[in-house]
Chains A and B, each alone.
Chain A
Amino acid sequence: MKNLIKQKVMEQKILIVDDEAHIRMLIEQTLEELEDEGVEFLTAENGEIALEIIQKENPKLVFLDVMMPKMNGMEVCRRVKKELELKDVFIVLLTAKGQELDRQRGQEVGADVYMTKPFDPEIILSKAKEVLGIK
């Protein structure tokens, strides 16, 4: 039996990477309405898994937490942007407030946007819509 749901040829994927489950859930919840636009949500709880998923699934937008075990967000970003040179992946780095030095490092590793936690849900949603080209 065939699944007759036609998958969008260029279905948009968003990858949420954070070692804290509640953050992953919160971001997904914030972007809930995008599900109706055919956006698929992927999650990863550490940098290694994130890298695998990015290479396999090619998400358009990645929310990447900086403080993670195994491989932190900065490293993931560097690999994706500088080593693998995946230009189509839009990376949003998330970090705790007060780590202002990270902003500069974020620039160095090629992050597209830098946000602090607690994040402003309105801003997360509007940025996602912007990157995915959804009104």
Chain B
Amino acid sequence: MARVSLKNIVGKKNEVNTAVLALIGQLNETTWIEDENGKLLVGNSAEAPPSSFPVNIDNEIIGWVKGDERSIMIANLLGYLAQKEAEKKKLGTEVLNLYQELNVIYNFSEQLTQTIDPDIIAQLTLEQAIHSIPSHSGVIVLWNEEKKQLLIPAKSGEQLFKEEQIRNNPGVLLKIGLSGQSEIITDLSLLKEKGIIESDVHSLIYAAMKVKHRIMGAIILAGKNAEQYSAAHLKLLVTLALQSSTAIESAMLYEKNIREAREREEAMLRIHEVTKKFVPHEFIRSLGKETLTDVKLGDQVEKIVTVLFTDIRDFTTLSEKMTPEENFHFVSSFNARLGPVIRSNNGFINQYLGDSIMAIFPENPEDALRAAVGMQKAVHELNKERKEVGLPIIRAGIGMHTGSLIMGITGDEFRMDAATISDTVNTAARIESLTKYYKSPLLLSDHTLQFLNGQNNFHFRHLGSVKLKGKNNLLSIVECINGFDELQFERKLQTLPQFSEAMNSYHDQQFENALQIFQTILTNDPDDLTAHYFLTNTKKYLREGVPKNWTGTEEMVSK
């Protein structure tokens, strides 16, 4: 009951005071009012009053009215006024408490909006709870459904909750934590037995943390005193629990979303990396795009490039002697050796076609030539290793041509592929096949030669022109000798001027002269298969004569 003092009712300059003074004046007798300690409040005191009447509120005396027997009316009146005042104060206190509670919830709400970290939210909640509901200790327990474990994201106050025990024996606390109930409990025998809480805890107050369809956990506060918690406390705790549950749930969902987004991003990155290995990045870049996902049907670009084909000689015969698996390994290891050579010379592999490789050098024909020489060296190395284990050697032919090329994305909506379409590709492929014809490992077209920078370390032999099947224009074929091993290269370099002379004579149908020179060349370099080829032809023409309208051009009968 709020404390009401008689002094506050009559002691001040107020209406009650004025009215009482008027009343006393009307009595014309000596009447005065004292507080419960005998202190004079209103009027003048005299020695011995005839009567003393108490002023009561609920059997408690707060003062006296002293005078004749009529003073009782004043005493009763004051008693009534005091009662009213007491009720007013009581109401006022209740409203104030409510207001304070409102303030707490308001502020707490504001705090919750400032953070999206679930652990921080839990900590804030517990601190607010302990501040508003005085307790010796508190914890928040949450149940992680995924990992099937009990989490304690926040704890505060004295160590009244034994964490070790809780982790070992989650069941007991879970029963409270996941009960979905909110209450004050004083029968703590089981919990104390299991060692979950200290023995000097008198009562627990807890409120369930729930969201829509599931129970997340609970806020649990512990108090050592008897009568520590009231219904009002429980109400407040339930409100705090409700507010924080939604906040924590949102925060956890947010974290989950961020995590998943990051995982998706990483997966996407991995896919990008992988696609680069299947569709050359240089191809995509040439189309002005950055990634495979940017590319669309119909994208295309035209460029002057050097196309290079390489092929394994007599592969069919070779593969007949191997099992499919051996075949696969063979081709794989072949490709694995040549790939890096191409890439390190600014080229990219456009396609693997069985035992054949098609590469594109977008920048400079010299890149292609360097790569070709490097590839020949790689084949030499391979053959050394094969000889050591008694395997037959490999011969590979390389042909290249420089010209305009269209790279693009072709196909239909559901099946697209990167394609290169142009005559340049066909020509390059035909030149490559000529390598077996001329018995030369590395051939290029005159076009490529023209695109080359004049200052280069490569040496060439012109082999005349050909008229490819199904085409009208003549193609001038050139051999590059840099790929031969040291000895062969030196010899060919030396015989270079003679070879040139011999080819000129051959072209001018001066076959005797040509014959002589070719023979000389072969004496110095018996392994010059190309010279041998021309020698054979020269002999044939000497014997049979040239065909009608022969212009020194080889007519390619087959591709």
* Complex interface residues of chain B between 31 and 52 (CB less than 8 A to chain A): 40-44
Using A1-B21, A1-B24, A25-B95 as known contacts, say yes or no to A121 and B100 having CB atoms under 8 A apart: yes
In angstroms, Cα B110 to Cα A120, docked, is: 14
Stretch from A26-34, A53-61, A68-76, A126-134 contacting the other chain: A26-34
* Complex interface residues of chain B between 214 and 235 (CB less than 8 A to chain A): none
Task: Please count the residue pairs between chain A and chain B whose beta carbons lie under 8 angstroms apart in the complex.
Answer: 47
A5 on the B face (CB < 8 A):
yes
Q: Of A3, A7, A28, A119, which one neighbours B92 at CB under 8 angstroms?
A: A28
B1-18 to A contact mask, C-beta < 8 Å, 1/0: 000000110011100010
Chain A residues with CB under 8 A of B100: 120-121
B25 on the A face (CB < 8 A):
yes
Chain B residues with CB under 8 A of A4: 40, 44
Chain B residues with CB under 8 A of A87: none
Chain B residues with CB under 8 A of A26: 92, 95-96, 99
A5-24 to B contact mask, C-beta < 8 Å, 1/0: 10100000000000000100
Q: Of B13, B43, B92, which one neighbours A25 at CB under 8 angstroms?
A: B92
Using A118-B102, A118-B103, A119-B103 as known contacts, say yes or no to A3 and B13 having CB atoms under 8 A apart: yes
Using A1-B25, A3-B13, A118-B106 as known contacts, say yes or no to A35 and B96 having CB atoms under 8 A apart: no
In angstroms, Cα B17 to Cα A28, docked, is: 21
For residue B105, which residue of chain A has the nearest CB? A118
How many chain B residues touch A (CB < 8 A): the figure is 25
Q: Of A3, A97, A118, which one neighbours B42 at CB under 8 angstroms?
A: A3
CB distance from A108 to the nearest CB of B (A): 26
CB distance from A61 to the nearest CB of B (A): 18
Chain A residues with CB under 8 A of B21: 1, 3
In angstroms, Cα B89 to Cα A19, docked, is: 21
Chain B residues with CB under 8 A of A121: 96, 99-100, 103
* Complex interface residues of chain A between 92 and 119 (CB less than 8 A to chain B): 97, 118-119
Q: Of A3, A97, A119, A120, which one neighbours B17 at CB under 8 angstroms?
A: A3
CB distance from A128 to the nearest CB of B (A): 14
CB distance from A123 to the nearest CB of B (A): 10
In angstroms, Cα B24 to Cα A121, docked, is: 41
In angstroms, Cα B269 to Cα A100, docked, is: 47
In angstroms, Cα B329 to Cα A87, docked, is: 99
CB distance from A100 to the nearest CB of B (A): 13
Q: Of B17, B43, B92, B103, which one neighbours A29 at CB under 8 angstroms?
A: B92
Contact A29–B95 (Cβ < 8 Å)? yes
In angstroms, Cα B100 to Cα A5, docked, is: 35
CB distance from B45 to the nearest CB of A (A): 9
B250 on the A face (CB < 8 A):
no
Contact A30–B41 (Cβ < 8 Å)? no
Chain B residues with CB under 8 A of A35: 8
Contact B95–A22 (Cβ < 8 Å)? yes
Q: Of A29, A118, A120, which one neighbours B93 at CB under 8 angstroms?
A: A29
Chain A residues with CB under 8 A of B93: 29
In angstroms, Cα B41 to Cα A4, docked, is: 7
In angstroms, Cα B43 to Cα A40, docked, is: 22
Chain B residues with CB under 8 A of A119: 103
* Chain B residues at the A interface, C-beta cutoff of 8 Å: 7-8, 11-13, 17, 21, 24-25, 40-44, 89, 92-93, 95-96, 99-100, 102-103, 106-107
Q: List 16 A-B contacts (CB under 8 A).
A: A1-B24, A1-B43, A3-B21, A3-B42, A5-B41, A22-B95, A25-B92, A26-B96, A28-B92, A29-B89, A29-B93, A35-B8, A40-B12, A118-B99, A118-B106, A121-B103
The 7 closest A-B CB pairs, nearest first, are A29-B92, A29-B96, A118-B103, A5-B11, A121-B100, A118-B102, A120-B103
